[in-house]
Structure 1
Amino acid sequence: MDSIKVHNSLKPGPPVPFKPIHPGKVSWYACGPTVYDQSHLGHARNYVSTDIIRRILKDYFGFDVKFVMNITDVDDKIIIKARRQRLLDLEKKKPYTEAETLELGKTAFKAYAQSNLPKLIDPETWKDQELDVKNYIERRTVAYGNVLAGGTITGEGKPGDAEAKLKMHISNMTQAVIALSKNTIFGMADEILLPYLDSLYKETIDTSDQTIFTDLTQYMENEFTDDMDALNVLRPDVVTKVTDYVPQIAKFVERLVDRGFAYEADGSVYFDIAAFEKAGNTYARLKPESRNDKDLQEEGEGSLSKSLGAKKSPSDFALWKKSKAGEPYWPSKWGNGRPGWHIECSVMASHVLGQRMDIHSGGIDLAFPHHDNELAQSEAYYCQGGHEHTWVNYFLHMGHLSISGSKMSKSLKNFQTIKDALASNYTSRSMRIVFLLGRWNDGVEISPDMRTQADNWESTVNNYFVNTKSLLAEASGTPEVIQGDVKNLSISHKPADGLLADLEQAKKDLEAAFTNSFDTPQVMQVILGMIRKANIHINEHPTDLDLLAVEAIARWVTKIVGILGLDSNAKPPYDGLGWVSAAAAANLEPAISVQPYKDVHAAVAKDAKSLDSGVFSDTLAQLLTQSPDPEFDALAASGIRDPEQLGLPYLRAVSRIRDELRRIAPTTPTDIKKQILALSDRIRDSDLTNIGVYLDDRTDLPSLIKFIPTAELIAARREKEAKEAERARAKEEAKLAREQAEAEKWEKARVKPEDIFKADARYGEWDVEGMPTKLRDGSEVPKSQLKKLRKDWDKQKKVHEEWVAKFGGGTA
C-alpha cells in the first residue's frame, strides 16, 4: 500500500510514506504497562488507539502484522509499592497501643510534609511552632491556597502536572488529618505512612524471596489483561516480560561496554552519550529539545537510581543498576543488580523482531527519555563501521489523555480506572468512539461535549442499523446477503447512481482518510455523512425506497465499525449487518438461539386463543392456526445462524396477531376490548421487550419489528413507568390540594360575620354586627380601617350564607 502515509516521530512534520521492510508484512513493538497498579483511562487511550491502527493495517489494508508488547514486571515503582506494602503488613502486626499508633501517625505526618510540602513547616513563616492537626488547615491555606483555588505555583500560566502533583500531596495530608483525629492511622493514612515506614525499614526486607514483587506483578498483569479484553483490544501476538529476559539484558549491556558505548561505575553500568555521538551517531532524535531536561532525565532513571555511582555526564543513563538493600537482584559480571528501564525494551524487541522493525509505539510521554534512550543503545549495539543503524523505521506516539490541564497519571492520582469507568459511565464502545473522534497522535481532554458527541455518533449508527433491519424484515422477512469486500461492496454491475453513487464516494473518502495517517475523526465523519444521506432518502421515499442501497450502506458501515473494533462480538471479515448479538457471537444451534422468540409466539397465540372466539375476524382465526416453524426450518437449513434472522418468522407472526387484535378491538364489546388492549400492551411492553424486540406501531400500516438491546428497552420501559407514576402522583397531590383548599374554604365560611373580628387582639369593643368600634387602647378605630373591615365583613357574610345554603345551617 504505497499510498499510506503516517506521522512518524522520527521525522517531525507532515505524514510520510509508509513502506514496510517486507512488502505486505509489518513488524511492530509496543511499550506495554508497568504492572504495579490498576490501569486507568490514560492507559486506555494509549492501548485502544494503538489497537485501532493495528486493526486498520490488518483488516482494512490486509497487512500481516506481527505485534509484540512487553510487560515491565521489575521497575522502581513496582519495587517501592511491593516493598512498602510488605512493610505496612508487618507494621500492622506489631502490638501498638492507641497512643503509640497515634504517635506513629503524627511522626509520619510531619515527615511527609517535610518531603513534599515544605512550606507547611517553613521556619521563617511559622517560627518555632510545630505542624499539627489543629493548625494544618490554616497553614495549607496560607502556603498553597492559590494552587487550591486554581492558580499555579509560580503565579503564571495555567495549572499543569506540577500543580496536580501538589494537590495530590495536599489531599494525602488532608486525609491523614482526618485519620489522626479519629486515630484510624492504618487504612486511612497509608499514603503518608508508607513512605515513612520505607525510610525506616526498607533495608531490612529480604529480597532473595522475590514473591514480594512477583505476587504484585502477576496479579496486576492479569488485571491489565482483563481490562484490555473488556475494551476489545486484540491481544498481542507475542508478550515479553522483563524478568524472563534478565540474562539476555546483561549480555546486551556487556556488548555495549565492550564496544565502548557504556562504562561501569561502582557496580552500575551507564550509557556513554558522548562516546555514542563521537562515533557519528545522533542522540535524542525524537525529542532533541528535551535532552537537557533534568526533571525528565531523573524521572527516566527512577527514584531508586540516586547515588548509584559516579557518572561521566549527568545525561548518561543507567543500563544496569547496582541493587541496594531492599531491592530485587540478579547476578552479573558487575555484581548483583537489575536492568535499567530503557534497556529492557531494546533487548526484548530485538530478540523477537531482529535488528530492524517497522513500527515502535507508545505514549507520547515516553518519547524522551525512554524511547530516545532505547534508540541510542540499540543503534549503538548494532551499528557497524561508524554508520548509524536504523533500528526503528516509524515511531508512533499516542497523544495522552488529560484532565483539568494535566495528564492522567497513576503517580498523580488524578485518574479513573478502566474498571470504574466501564462500571459507571462508559461502555467499551463509547470509550473507543471518544478516542476515534480525536487523532491518535493528538492529546485528548476529557469534557462533557466530547462525550455528548460520541454518544450522538453511536446513537445515529445504532438507529440506522435498527431501522434498516426493520425495513428489510418488513419487505422480505430475511435480509438479502450481499457479497463483496469492504472496498468493492456493490449490488450490481450497472453504474452507480443515487445512494449507491454516494456510497462509492464515501468509500473513496474513507480510504483517503485511512491512508492519511489513519485519520479516524475524518472516518467517523464519512460514516456519519453517509448515514445521514441514507436517512434522508428513507424519509423522502416512503413508497419507492431503494432498499438494496440502504442495505448496502448498512453492511458497509458494519464492515468499517467492525474493523475499528467497535463491536466486541464481531469477527473478521465483518460481513454481517449491524452490531452482532452475544447469542450470534456464541454461534448457538438455531433451535437454541431461536427458542426465546418461539416461546413468545406460543404464549401470545395461546392467550389470543383464550379470548372470546365469537369476536374473531377470519384473518385472526387464520393467523392463530398458522405455524412459523416451516419458515424457520428453511432458514436454518440454508445455513443462517443469526438469531435475529432466525427469529423473524416467529416475530412477524406475533406482530401480525397483535396488529389484527388492535384492528378489531374498537368493534368488540367493552369487556373484550379491555382484554385485547391489555394483551396488546403486554406483548409490546413486556413479552417482546424482554427479548430485545420493539414493535413500532404505525397508523394504517403493519408494525415495524426493531431489534434493540434488551437493557435499553427495559430502561425505556422503566423510564416510561416512572414518568407515569410521577404524573399519577402529581395528579393525586393536586387532587388532595384541591380537596384541602375546599375544606379550608368551607371551614372559614362556617364563621358568622359578626364573629370574625371578635378574636382579633387589636380591638377592644364591637357593635351589634360585630364590627370593631374601638381599639385595644380605647381609641376609636380609624375610618381608613373601617372601610376595609366593612369589605371583609360583607365578604364573610356572603360566604357564610353559601355555607348555610350548602350544609343546612348549624352553629359556627
Structure 2
Amino acid sequence: MDSIKVYNSLKPGLPVPFTPIEKGKVSWYACGPTVYDHSHLGHARNYVSTDVIRRILLHYYGFDVKFVMNFTDIDDKIILKARRQRLLEIEKTKKYTESELVELGMAAFRAYAKSNLPMLLEGEDGPLDLNNYISRRDSAYGHILAGGTLTGEGKPGDDEAKLKMHTNNMTSAASAIGSELFFSGAEEILLPYFDSLYKESLDTSDQTIFTSLTKLMENEFTKDMDALNVLRPDVVTRVTEYVPQIASFVEKVVEKGFAYEAEGSVYFDITAFEKAGNTYAHLRPESRNDKALQEEGEGSLGKSLGGKRGPGDFALWKKSKPGEPYWPSKWGNGRPGWHIECSVMASDVLGSCMDLHSGGVDLAFPHHDNELAQSEAYFCEHGHEHTWVNYFLHMGHLSISGSKMSKSLKNFQTIKDALASAYTARSMRIVFLHGKWNDGVEITPSMRTQADAWETTLNNFFTNVKSLLVEANGTTAAIRSGVEGLSVAENKPIAGLLADLEQAKKDVNAALNNSFDTPQVIRAIADIIRKANIHIGAPSGNLELPALESIARWVTKIVGILGLDANASPPYEGLGWASAAASANIDPITAVQPYEAVYNSILSDAKLLDLPASETWTSLLSQSPRLEFDSLVEAGVRDPEQLGLPYLRATSKLRDELRRLIASVAPEVKKSILSLSDRIRDFDLTNLGVYLDDRPDGQPSLIKFIPAAELIAAREEKAAREAEKAKAKEEARIAREKAEAEKWEKAKVAPQDMFKSDGRYSEWDAEGMPTKLNDGSEVPKAQLKKLKKEWDRQKKAHGEYLTKFGDS
C-alpha cells in the first residue's frame, strides 16, 4: 500500500501517515446537512470535496470504505423555520382589514429593528416608520451597505453580511407593508414576530409540523447530490430515529460523572471531564472560551435554558419548552442537544473508534470538539483517555465577498439554481478540484476561466485521440496496446510519450499520497496532455498511436476516479467521456438507427447526382456498413459511437469523394455537390454529435465525436455571424446607393444657380457668384474666395453629371 499522508485536524501541521484501524478497510462518518432549506454552493463545496476523497480511497487505493452520513432532522433551526411557517399559514387565513394589516406590519417592523438593527429606533423625528426608515437606515448603516466595516478597519466579513441581510429584510418589508404583497414581501420580519406572539399555541405533539419540512428538504438534498455525481452514503442515519438511544447515551455519561441534570436539561461537565485526565477542545483549544461560538453551538432556542455550572458546559439533552417538539426521558419531556446526535449515531454504526470523521471547517468548534468530549466520556474506562476518532478531516468553506456562504446569512446560490444557470456538475467539480480540499476558497472569474480552459483541453484531447484511432484502425476497440507490455514489464528503456506518461503517473501518485492534493493532479494531467498535443501537431506525422491511446485511457481513469464522468463506472477503463447512451446499455439496433438513417438518406441523395462513372464511385455506392456493424455486435460492442462508426465512415468516404469530384463536373452539378457536402457536415452529422474535420491534400476527413449541443450551438453562432455580416453588407450597400443618389442630386444643380437659393445674398454676377449680402453690403473678399472654391467644385461635379446623364 502506498504511504498515504493526510491533514489531520487532531494533529495540526504537516500531513501525517494514514493507517486505518483494519488493513484495507476505512470507517468514515461525515456530518450531513441540517435539512431545513435548499442546499447551496457552500454545501456543494463540502460534499463534493468529501466525495472526491472517498472516491480516491475506493477506486485509486482500493480500500473498502464504509461511509456513514447523518441527516439532522431536528434542531433549533428546523424548529424555528417549521414553527414559523405554520404560524404564518395560520395568519394568512385570518380576516384582517387593510388598516389592521398595516398596524400588524408596523409592529413587526419595529420589533425586527429592535432585535437586529437597534440604531434605527433612534431619531429626533419620532418613532420609526415607513417615512423615516430609509434616511435612518442610510445614516446608521450606510457605510456598511457601501462596503465598509463595523470597526472602520479591514474587510467586510460575516458580521457585515448579517447586517446587510437584516437591512434587506427591512427594506423589502417597507415596500410590502400596505400593498398586496404584504405577506410575501414582509415575510422575514413577520415570521419572528408571529413566533414571539403565538409559538406556545401550537400542539407540538403533532410532529408533522417539523417532519413535513425535513422530509422535503432531505429529498431535495439527495437530488442535488445525485445531480453533482456525489456517491450516496452506505448508511444514512436520522436524529429522530435515534432519540431513545440518545437518551440512553446521555444517561451513561451522567452515571460516569461527566454530565449533570439542571432544570430538566442535561449538560456536559467540562470541569469534571478534565479533572479525570481527559482533554477538552482537541481541535480548537484556542476557541474553548469563545462565547459567541459557544452560544451558536447551543442554538438560538437554548439561550433561556438555565442551571449550567460552567459557562462552556453544553447541552446533551434540552428541556422542551412550549412550541417545541419533545420526547419522554427520565428528566422529563425534552429533545437531543445538537452535538450528541452525531456521537450516538456514529458510534452505533461504526463502534467505539473510527478511522475518519469529516465535516465543514466551521464545525470544528464547538460541534466536533463537543462530539469528541462526550464520546470519549462515554467510552473511557478507569480514567484512561479514549480515542474515538483517529483522523478528523475538515473541508474548507466557500466564501462570497469575504463572508462564509451561509443559509443564515442568505448570501448563497442554491445548487439547483447554479446547475440551471452557471455550471454543469463537471465544471463545478473541476473548480473545486483546483483548490485543496482543506483550504477555503472564493470562486473568482479567473478561477472559472482556468477551470473551463482545463475542461476544454480534456474535451479536445479525447476527441482528437479517438478520431486518430478511428482513422487508423476503424474502431477505438481495435487498439489495446498496454503500456506495461511495451516498456516496464520487459525492462525496456522508456522513451518519448511513454516516459512522459510514466512520469505523470508518478506525479499523480505523489500528489494523491500527499493528502489528496487535487490541484497537483490537475496540473499533472494538463502537462501530459500538453506533451501529447505537441506530438500530435508535430510535422513529421509519425504518430505514436499506442502511446497516445495509453495516455488518453490513463487520463480517463483518473478523471473517472475524481468523479468527473457521471456516465462512467469503475474501473474506468474507457477512452474519453462515457456517453449516457453507452451507460444505458441500449439495444444495438436501436442505438445505431440514427446513424443508419442518416447514411441511407445521404446515399439516396448522392445517387441522384449526375456524376461521371468511376470504379471508385460505384464501389462507394455499393459499400455495406451493415456487415461491419453486425461483426461489432457479435464482438460484444455496445457503445453507440462505436456501433455507428461503420455508417459514419461510409458517409465520410462518400463526402470525401464528392469533394474530390468537384473539379471535374459541370457548374450546376458542382453547386449540388457543395450543397450536399455542407448539409452532411453541418446538419446531418452535427445533429448526431459528429463533426467531420476536413483536411488538405486529399487526406480523408477525421471523424470526431463532439456533443451535439456544442456543435449545434457553434452552427447557430456561425449562422448568426453570417447573418450579421450579410446585414452589415446590405446596410453598407444601401448607404452607398443613398450617398451616390445624394451626390448626383447635388451635382444636378448648375453652378450659376447654386447660390441663388441661399438666403444670405441679394445680388449675383453673370456666373452666379454672390456680389452683395442681404443688407446691401459687398460680400467680403475672404468670403468670396471661399465661395469661388465651392463654385469650382460644383462646376466640375455638374460637368460629370451632364456627361453621365445628359440634359434630362
TM over 0.5: yes
Residue of structure 2 equivalent to 1:59: 59
Distance across 2 between alignment mates of 1:519 and 1:508 = 13
Change (3 A) 1:327 1:770: farther
Deviation by residue 1:92-120 (Cα, 9 ceiling, x = unmatched) = 11112222222322222222222111122
Q: Which residue, out of 120, 124, 127, partners 2:124? A: 127
Deviations 1:477-508 (A, max 9, x none): 11246769999997973443221111111111
Residues in 2 aligned to 1:310 and 1:214: alpha-carbon distance in whole angstroms: 30
C-alpha spacing 1:481/1:456, structure 2 compared with 1 (3 Å): same
Q: 1:805: Cα distance to partner?
A: 3.4
CA distance in 1, matches of 2:363, 2:479: 46
Cα offset, 1:128, TM superposition: 4.7
Aligned match of 2:705 = 707
Q: Is the 8 A contact 1:486 1:559 kept in 2?
A: no
The 2-side partners of 1:107 and 1:750 are apart by: 81
In 2 relative to 1, CA 761–147 (structure 1 residues): closer, same or farther, beyond 3 Å? Answer: farther
C-alpha separation in 1, matches of 2:243 and 2:480: 52
* Aligned counterpart, 1:544: 542
Distance 1:481-1:301 versus aligned 2 partners, 3 A rule = farther
Distance in 2 between residues matched to 1:314 and 1:53, nearest whole Å: 37
What is the DSSP-based 3-state SS (H/G/I as helix, E as strand, rest coil) of the residue aligned with 1:395?
A: strand
Deviation, 1:774, is 3.3
Query: 2:29 aligns to what SS in structure 1?
Result: strand
Q: Does 2:39 match 1:39?
A: yes
Q: Tell me by how many angstroms 1:768 deviates.
A: 4.6
Q: Note if contact 2:101-2:178 (Cα within 8 Å) is conserved in structure 1.
A: no
1:363 counterpart residue number: 360
* Aligned residue in 1 for 2:731: 733
Q: Counterpart of 2:156?
A: 159
What does residue 781 of structure 2 align with? 783
Three-state SS of the structure 2 residue aligned to 1:269 is strand
Matches for 1:565-604 after TM superposition, within 5 Å: 565-604=563-602
Separation in structure 1 between the aligned mates of residue 412 and residue 4 of structure 2, nearest angstrom: 35
Which secondary structure state, in structure 2, belongs to the residue aligned with residue 239 of structure 1? strand
For the residues of structure 2 that align with 1:100 and 1:778, how far apart are their CA atoms?
83
Deviation, 1:616, is: 4.1
Residues 499-538 of structure 1 correspond to what in structure 2 (within 5 A)?
Answer: 499-538=497-536
In structure 2, what is the Cα distance between the partners aligned to 1:296 and 1:605? 73
1:169 aligns with 2:166: yes
Counterpart for residue 118 of structure 1: 118
Do the aligned residues in 1 keep the contact of 2:343 with 2:375 (CA within 8 Å)? yes
Structure 1 residue 760, shift from structure 2 partner: 3.7
Deviates more, 1:188-197 or 1:401-410: 188-197
Residue equivalent to 2:108: 108
1:407 aligns with 2:404: yes
1:568-596 CA-to-partner distances (Å, cap 9, x unmatched) read 00001111111000110101122221221
Deviations 1:225-258 (A, max 9, x none): 0000000000000000011001111111111111
Q: Give distance in 2, aligned partners of 1:387 and 1:488.
A: 55
What does residue 462 of structure 2 align with?
A: 465
1:449 aligns with 2:467: no
Q: What secondary structure does 2:703 align onto?
A: strand
Take 2:487 and 2:334, find their aligned partners in 1: how far apart are those partners? 63
Q: Secondary structure at the match of 1:701?
A: coil
Mapped to 2, the partners of 1:448 and 1:203 lie a distance apart of 49
Q: How does 1:260-659 map to 2 (within 5 A)?
A: 260-480=257-477, 493=490, 494-540=492-538, 542-612=540-610, 614-659=611-656
- For residues 569 and 751 of structure 1, what CA distance do their matches in structure 2 show? 77
SS at match of 2:623: coil
The within-5 A match list for 1:236-275 is 236-275=233-272
User: Contact (CA 8 Å) 1:486, 1:560: kept in 2 or not?
Assistant: no
Classify 1:578/1:292 alpha carbon distance in 2 versus 1 (closer, same or farther; 3 Å). same
CA contact (8 A) 1:250 1:332 kept: yes
Q: Which amino acid aligns with 1:679?
A: L
Given that residues 481 and 546 in structure 2 are in contact (C-alpha distance below 8 angstroms), is that contact kept between their aligned partners in structure 1? Answer: no
> Any conservation in 1 of the 2:253–2:377 contact (CA below 8 Å)?
yes
Greater Cα offset, 763-772 or 312-321: 763-772
Q: Is the 8 A contact 2:560 2:568 kept in 1?
A: yes
Structure 2 alignment gaps of length 5 or more: none
Query: CA–CA distance in 2 between the matches of 1:766 and 1:199?
Result: 95
Q: How big is each residue's C-alpha offset from its partner over 1:516-553, in whole Å with a ceiling of 9 and x where there is no partner?
A: 10011111111111111111111126532110000000
Partner of 1:773: 771
Please tell me whether the aligned partners of residues 173 and 186 of structure 2 are also in contact (alpha carbons under 8 angstroms). yes
After superposition, give the CA deviation of every residue in 1:411-450 in whole Å (9 maximum; x if it has no partner): 1111111011111110000110111111000011110010
Counterpart in the other structure of 1:138: 135
Q: Percent identity?
A: 73
2 CA distance for matches of 1:576 and 1:267? 61
Q: Is the 8 A contact 2:512 2:521 kept in 1?
A: yes
Shift of 1:780: 3.0
Indicate conservation of the 8 Å contact 1:509/1:526, yes or no: yes
Partner SS state of residue 33, structure 1: coil
Distance in 1, Cα, partners of 2:632 & 2:322: 70
Contact 1:101 1:183 in 2 (8 A): no
- Given that 1:357 and 1:392 are in contact with CA atoms closer than 8 Å, whether structure 2 keeps it comes out as yes
Change (3 A) 1:483 1:767: closer
d(CA) in 2 for partners of 1:796 and 1:130? 79
Q: TM-score, normalised by structure 1?
A: 0.97
CA contact (8 A) 1:358 1:394 kept: yes
Question: For residues 747 and 99 of structure 2, what CA distance do their matches in structure 1 show?
Answer: 72
- TM-score for both structures, normalised by structure 2: 0.97
Distance in structure 2 (CA, Å) of the matches to 1:653 and 1:434: 40
Shift in Å, 1:310: 1.9
Which residue identity does 1:79 align to in structure 2? I
More deviation, 255-264/695-704 = 255-264
SS in 2 for 1:361: strand
Match of residue 150, structure 1, among 143, 147, 156 = 147
